[in-house]
Amino acid sequence: MFNEKAQMMKLDDIRQVQEKKITKMMKYAYDNVPMYKKRFKEEGITPKDINGLEDVKKIPFTVKDDLRDHYPYGILAVPREKVVRFHASSGTTGTPTVVSYTRNDMETWGDLMARTYNAAGADAGDIVQNAYGYGLFTGGLGFHQGAEVLGCSVIPTSTGNTKKQIKMLYDFQTTVLACTPSYAIYLSEASQKFGYDPLKDFNLKVGMFGAEPWSDEARQSIQESMGLKAQDVYGMSELYGPGVAVECPEQNGLHIWSDEFLVETINPSTGEVLPEGEKGELVFTMLSREAMPLLRYRTKDIAVVNYEECECGRHHPRIMRVEGRSDDMLIVGGVNVFPSQVEAALLETEGTAEHYQIIVDRDVLDKLYVKVEIDKDYYESDEFDEEDLLRNVNENLTAILNIRAKVELLEPNTLPRTVGKAKRVVDLREEHDRMEEM
């Protein structure tokens, strides 16, 4: 096992490490990041007031806008010359958020990613095909470096060129596939189109799927069609990148590498820290980041954290399910709707495919439209019954969402296929608002 000591730490030991690191980190951030010195002063506290985990709630939050405000070099705690790598994510507002890494940070990240692969079921000697985008996005280089640290043979295919991806899956007999879950679904469909049977022709063992939310039903579908264990990976560029948390083979929550990340769950409206086990927004403090320490970073991800020991023997707390992002949440006629709930309802309905689109529009009242493709095999079978399917989709949606949606069934292969993150939500109300402002 790679870095067994860290992977198998007992909860008491994890807490001890956290206590030790957090005290050090507070002083480090205060001394080296002017933004934090200013904020601590505004709150009337100094690092001396933070004497362990109990005091963390005194520290002000950090949000994504703080990173944007520090464009281009980010929230640097070291001279720029000490930075060996920058990554950036493009914001919808135009100013990218930049993140930076020292040599030590790269080592920590490499270790975290190697553990992530290993805990998911990959090992030294595996053949890793990395179809995440290489570049400013942390996915490509993050998954690349971690696989090398673990001792795998890496094929850096990057995104796109699906035909070539499939040929390499076959020719190299790739054992580990790293890409977004929506691309994995696309690859499995395309493989069959190009004449391959993934179960017979490929040698896949594990899929490292992250960067977008996906449901258990999508997981089942990928596992069955590709013959691999589909593992969820959690992370974000502000927290190194991928490698914050990962599923073990139990597939019952994602272990947070808690010797490096302190997690809290808060009420997203009030900022109040919630008791262990309650659903709320995840907030992370990196415990040894050198270039860009972030204290109590608000992720906007809504989830439950479970502190019980896992069947796999690991004690690192688990993110039980990311229910959606507070950002992605749609408010339709006063009801909260997460796109992931729509996906779950659709995939629970036999006869629908994984391809769907959610459209929200406003006439006098808000309206929710769901377009979903009919499963190809079902569509071509004698059992196909459109009315029956429509009724089932409606029932499942209403049960999960508590509101009615207008459902449209589409023939197979009508919705556009994407290579990266799928664009699944279209909110036409925003366009109306822009028109009205003009």
Residues that bind Zn ion (CB under 5 A): 248, 250, 310, 312, 314
- As measured in angstroms, the least distance from the Cβ of 240 to Zn ion is 21
Residue 393, classified by CB atoms within 10 Å of its CB into exposed (0-12), middle (13-18) or buried (19+), is buried
Which residues, in sequence order, are bridge partners of residue 266?
A: 273, 281
Determine contact, residues 257/115, Cβ cutoff 8 Å.
yes
Pseudo-torsion of CA 334, 340, 342, 348, nearest 10°? Answer: -140
Owner of token pair 């974000």: 236
- As measured in angstroms, the least distance from the Cβ of 314 to Zn ion is 5
- As measured in angstroms, the least distance from the Cβ of 212 to Zn ion is 22
- As measured in angstroms, the least distance from the Cβ of 119 to Zn ion is 7
Determine contact, residues 400/345, Cβ cutoff 8 Å.
yes
Check whether the bond before 72 is cis (ω within 30° of 0): yes
* Cβ nearer to Zn ion, comparing 119 with 294: 119
For 207, phi then psi, to 5°, come to -115, 130
Q: b vs e for 194-227, b when ≥16 Cβ sit within 10 Å of the residue's Cβ?
A: eebebeeebebbbbbbbbebbbebbbebbbebbb
* Cβ nearer to Zn ion, comparing 229 with 314: 314
* Cβ nearer to Zn ion, comparing 120 with 409: 120
* Cβ nearer to Zn ion, comparing 248 with 368: 248
* Cβ nearer to Zn ion, comparing 309 with 348: 309
* Cβ nearer to Zn ion, comparing 131 with 248: 248
- As measured in angstroms, the least distance from the Cβ of 312 to Zn ion is 3
* Cβ nearer to Zn ion, comparing 273 with 312: 312
* Cβ nearer to Zn ion, comparing 310 with 426: 310
* Cβ nearer to Zn ion, comparing 255 with 355: 255
Within 8 A by CB and 6+ apart from 117, the residues are 2, 126, 128, 146, 147, 150, 152, 176, 208
How many helices, marked H, and strands, marked E, lie in the chain?
Answer: 14, 19
* Cβ nearer to Zn ion, comparing 320 with 410: 320
Give pairs for 412-416: CB < 8 Å, separation 24+: 412/353, 412/373, 412/374, 412/375, 412/376, 412/379, 413/373, 413/376, 414/373, 415/355, 415/356, 415/357, 415/371, 415/373
**Dihedral sign from CA coordinates of 427, 428, 432, 434:** positive
d(CA 176, CA 206): 5
- The token pair at 98 is 């930049």
- As measured in angstroms, the least distance from the Cβ of 250 to Zn ion is 5
- As measured in angstroms, the least distance from the Cβ of 57 to Zn ion is 28
- As measured in angstroms, the least distance from the Cβ of 313 to Zn ion is 7
d(CA 326, CA 400): 18
- As measured in angstroms, the least distance from the Cβ of 316 to Zn ion is 8
- As measured in angstroms, the least distance from the Cβ of 196 to Zn ion is 32
d(CA 170, CA 58): 54
Three-state SS sequence of 51-114: CCHHHHHHCCCECHHHHHHCCCCCCCCCCHHHEEEEEEECCCCCCCEEEEEEHHHHHHHHHHHH
- As measured in angstroms, the least distance from the Cβ of 257 to Zn ion is 12
* Cβ nearer to Zn ion, comparing 289 with 314: 314
